[in-house]
Structure 1
Amino acid sequence: MQKGSDCMVHCRKKGNRWYYRVTWTDEEGTHHAERAGGKTKTECLQAWREAMTEIQRRGELRKTAAMPFGDAVEEWLEKEVAVNRKQATYDSYSSIVRNHLTDTIKAIPLKKITTGLLQDWLNEQRNYYSRSTVHTCYAVLRAACAWLVKNRKYLAENPMADVIMPKIDEIPKPIRVFTADEMARIFTHWPAGHRYHLPIALAYYAGLRIGECLALTWNDVDLTAGTLTVTSTLYDRKGLPTRAKTPKSSHSARTITFGERLKQELIMKRWQQKQTRFQAGPFYKEGPNGGYVCDRGDGGVLTSNDMKWFGMWCKKEFGSGSFHCLRHTHATMLREQGVGLDYIAARLGHSSMYTTAKYYDAITDKREKEVVELIDKVF
């Protein structure tokens, strides 16, 4: 017989096998168990230690069983998502938890959270929200419950393991692409010298995302080689810009070539900034790494909140449109000219060519007209 820290273990040999007996006490009373431990005493003691680890783990599960589901998910947000994910991901996930999970769901104890309960809740969400929102809810719950099982040991099994993403039939929204006439009107409304002009030009001529445009510094620009190097992205959180160390993904860090039109835009902007710096003197807000390419006119960093008027103007003038549509326009124009999807994917910083094909290998008016002309020739 050997003594453990808070239990007793009895080892005995019966026939050719060793058996161990454990006695432990918890809030539910005293318990006894005898199990086969192996062919040797050493194996028997090891089996006993593993059994005690399981007993202690289940003891912890009992202690956390009454914890409200909402508190457990909030702990996941702060100790996992806030630490290991980008700020944008944290804000998106916390919005789901705090705005979509109802107080009724949050108040349910962990021990009563079941697969059926979560499946029914998720199914109900499709009556109120889009497929993308419901899918985010699904992803958040899966990740949170997996962490509660594997990292915290609050749950013995993952209740989301067998939950199925409900089917939601939606007509996909067409990609909004600006026409040549619309782009002319955009550049007329925000001409060279306006603080919106260069971000618009970068998105249109180089396919940059808005955060990539605003984070771009002059150290990232090589006017001689005609290249832009995307090394970071700017994200707005509660009105405060954050210059992240990395872009959206590892594939988003890339070098992009540009043509003469964008080169002249950049040269002009560089000259304007030098003039402003000279006139403002010590009041000029010098940015990092040679200064921001896109600034507020005084060297200060632009934010996506500053750019919100672009989308509002587009909706008023064209009925729809946003800054991201400039990136769509850039990619679509390349595709119409026969540029390969692999090149477009690398240029846009997509992690998979499937993403590029999904959005940009569609039938455009120009391609439709070319096919009709070809049909007329063939038939």
Structure 2
Amino acid sequence: MSKIILSSRNALEHVHVRQRGSKWSYRFEKAKVDGKRQTVERSGFATREDAQLAGIKAYEDYQHGIRQGNSPDMSFADFLDIWFERTKLDARNNTLELREKNIRLHLKPALGSYRLTSLSPQIIDGFVRQKRQDGYSYETVDRMLSNIKVALDYAIWPMELLKANPAQLIKVPGKNFAELSRRRPRRRIENDELVQLFDHFPFGNTYHMPLALGLYFGTRIGETLGLSWADCDLDARELHIRLQIQRLSMRGHHSLHYLCDLKTESSHRTLAFDSEIVLPLLRRWRQQQRANELAYGEDYFYNYILPAKDYQGRPIQKIVSLEKCYPAPGPRLDLICTQPSGKYIKPCSLSYQCKRIREMGIRDFDFHCLRHTNLTMLGESHASLTEIMTRAGHSDAKSTMTYVDSRLEMQERPVQMITKKLKHIL
């Protein structure tokens, strides 16, 4: 009975136990709802003391707002399920895909059997080091550790199951110069390489317009492929970046592509363009699309937006391509970047072409290099940091500067300025 004596007097007064046959049960009253009494009762305990202890704990959990099933004694695997379900609405689909995969393939097999409260810095550090020893890259293990840290932060608040985060100070080992040097760096594509690129993908080729727009505007791959003619004001020479195409991998089903909002509020931007290069290019391409439609006839495809749901049940705008002879199943999406047949271009198809471009000899190329090249060109032309940030759709200078290479051309203006100041002194 000593264990019971140590429990709170308040709980002892409210928890009642009784014997039913050979088993014992506990019972206590919760707050009234609409004036009616609400009772909690559990049975099946071997002794009176077992029933009393369980009842006291259940009552104290109730008093402190701990929901049943959210016990600090739960396994880390069960907690990860709770965390994943309750944070679905706060994350984008791509983030959730990676998170679900990390939980299923890595976190649960290695750490799921531990009690949530028994996870220690030593255990988590051992997990991280073992993953590195197994050959996983620094970035991959860092994402796993990030999932652990964010989940355990949720256990602290608002769940109130932990008082401190045991993963808070854990670092992924092996972030050294040798590893960083092996990663493919994004770089400014040189002018002669750009000439080679567009010789290989001339006007009329499926990938000419995405590559040209990505280079001129510095747009991301999803933003580029999601541009519609409704976003393009040829008279005002403005392009409105407001949506993007993303791929959704549905487990057990074929993947689909959908139109969604941009990553951040600052990504929404209006980009001006010139009347010498881009305006004639867009007009020429618009005419080419119409010529393609005439050439393909009834076999030409229109793109539509249909309502669908992602694997969390959230509404999305699915993109489908249908021959023009079929009735329209939904609003038409008049995209700028299309295949000659009219179909939309998938991001994965464009990424595959980037692999072919690397095989052509343009080293380290991916679509994001065009964005890197665009912003570095602006720096070479002595555009202000604010101007570069605006074109990039960044909200902070730090993000922008990671895209701008330090080039010798950028020293021309500072040299002129310092020469003007010092020419009468030195």
Same fold (TM over 0.5): yes
Structure 2: distance between partners of 1:290 and 1:57: 49
- Structure 1 residues 54 and 125: CA distance shift in structure 2, 3 A: farther
Structure 2: distance between partners of 1:52 and 1:105: 26
- List gaps (5 residues or longer) in structure 2: 1-9, 17-26, 31-40, 305-331
Structure 2: distance between partners of 1:79 and 1:100: 20
1:329 matches 2:340: no
Q: Paired residue for 1:226?
A: 237
SS in 1 for 2:394: coil
Q: CA RMSD in A?
A: 3.6
1:30 matches 2:36: no
Per-residue deviation, residues 143-199 of structure 1 (Å, max 9, x unmatched): 22233444556x344544633334633446653111110000111100000010000
Structure 2: distance between partners of 1:97 and 1:294: 36
SS in 2 for 1:193: coil
**TM-score between the two structures when normalised by the length of structure 1:** 0.78
Q: Which amino acid aligns with 2:257?
A: T
- Structure 1 residues 196 and 235: CA distance shift in structure 2, 3 A: same
Task: Return the structure number with greater helix share.
Answer: 1
SS in 2 for 1:343: helix
Structure 2: distance between partners of 1:183 and 1:293: 22
> Among residues 206, 209, 232, which one is paired with 1:195 in the alignment?
206
Q: Paired residue for 1:205?
A: 216
1:358 matches 2:396: no
Q: Paired residue for 1:19?
A: none
SS in 1 for 2:349: coil
Q: Paired residue for 2:285?
A: 269
Q: Paired residue for 1:15?
A: none
Structure 1: distance between partners of 2:28 and 2:77: 35
- List gaps (5 residues or longer) in structure 1: 10-23, 33-49
Structure 2: distance between partners of 1:31 and 1:309: 63
Q: Paired residue for 1:65?
A: 73
| Count of residue pairs the alignment pairs up | 346
Mean Cα deviation higher: 218-227 or 268-277 = 268-277
- Partners of 1:177 and 1:325 within 8 A in 2: yes
- Partners of 2:201 and 2:207 within 8 A in 1: yes
Per-residue deviation, residues 27-64 of structure 1 (Å, max 9, x unmatched): 745359xxxxxxxxxxxxxxxxx9663467387554x6
Q: Which amino acid aligns with 1:30?
A: Q
1:367 matches 2:375: no
Query: Superposition pairs for residues 1-379 of structure 1, below 5 Å?
Result: 6-7=27-28, 28-31=50-53, 53-54=62-63, 57=66, 60-62=69-71, 65-67=73-75, 69-81=76-88, 83-101=89-107, 103-127=109-133, 128-150=135-157, 155-160=161-166, 162-166=168-172, 168-170=175-177, 171=180, 174-238=185-249, 240-259=255-274, 260-288=276-304, 291-316=334-359, 317-360=361-404, 362-367=405-410
TM-superposed CA distance for 1:302, in Å, is: 0.6
Q: Which amino acid aligns with 2:52?
A: T
- Structure 1 residues 3 and 93: CA distance shift in structure 2, 3 A: closer
- Structure 1 residues 53 and 161: CA distance shift in structure 2, 3 A: farther
SS in 2 for 1:194: coil
Mean Cα deviation higher: 86-95 or 217-226 = 86-95
Q: Which amino acid aligns with 1:65?
A: D
- Partners of 1:192 and 1:198 within 8 A in 2: yes
- Partners of 2:237 and 2:272 within 8 A in 1: yes
- Structure 1 residues 161 and 102: CA distance shift in structure 2, 3 A: closer
TM-superposed CA distance for 1:201, in Å, is: 0.6
Structure 2: distance between partners of 1:298 and 1:52: 63
Structure 1: distance between partners of 2:14 and 2:417: 88
Q: Paired residue for 2:328?
A: none
**TM-score between the two structures when normalised by the length of structure 2:** 0.70
TM-superposed CA distance for 1:348, in Å, is: 1.1
Per-residue deviation, residues 224-266 of structure 1 (Å, max 9, x unmatched): 1111111111112347443343112111111111123122221
Q: Which amino acid aligns with 2:220?
A: R
- Partners of 1:191 and 1:197 within 8 A in 2: yes
- Counting aligned pairs with the same residue, the percent is 24
- Partners of 1:119 and 1:163 within 8 A in 2: no
- Partners of 1:214 and 1:233 within 8 A in 2: yes
